[in-house]
Structure 1
Amino acid sequence: MPAPIAELSPRHRIELPKELREELKWKPGQKLMLMRRHDGVFICPEVTFEQLRGIAKGANTEGCRDRNDRY
């Protein structure tokens, strides 16, 4: 299946194709983050610090740098 295509309007707006919005379950008014990646843009739902809290719980930190090895 070919990748969905969107067009930049004269007012610099992009409408995401319906099948993509439905697949990702994105709703009108939902906040999206835009991150520049080389010569393109990565788009994803906004993530808050509260949603990120605890995602690394139990991670192995062995061999990680600490403040003592910085210049």
Structure 2
Amino acid sequence: MQAEDLQRLLDVSMPYGKYKGRAIADLPGNYLGWFAREGFPRGELGRLLALMYEIDHNNLGALLAPLRKNR
């Protein structure tokens, strides 16, 4: 993980599905958990979803709070 990946979680939107258009950082935990069980997509999207899953699963959402303030 790179420092800029945290900012990307706020900047990149889900490109498809039920939560299309919602920032990766704002996806619900159960949706991220579904990807964790079924498999993350390839590429940057999958990498960001996996990172957000780990943040959510380990209750580390406070890491994103300073970045949300600066938006």
Give the TM interval when normalised to the shorter protein.
under 0.3
TM (normalized to structure 1)? Answer: 0.26
TM (normalized to structure 2)? Answer: 0.26
More strand by share: 1
Which protein, 1 or 2, shows the higher relative CO under an 8 Å CA cutoff with sep ≥ 6? Answer: 2
Q: Which has the larger radius of gyration?
A: 1
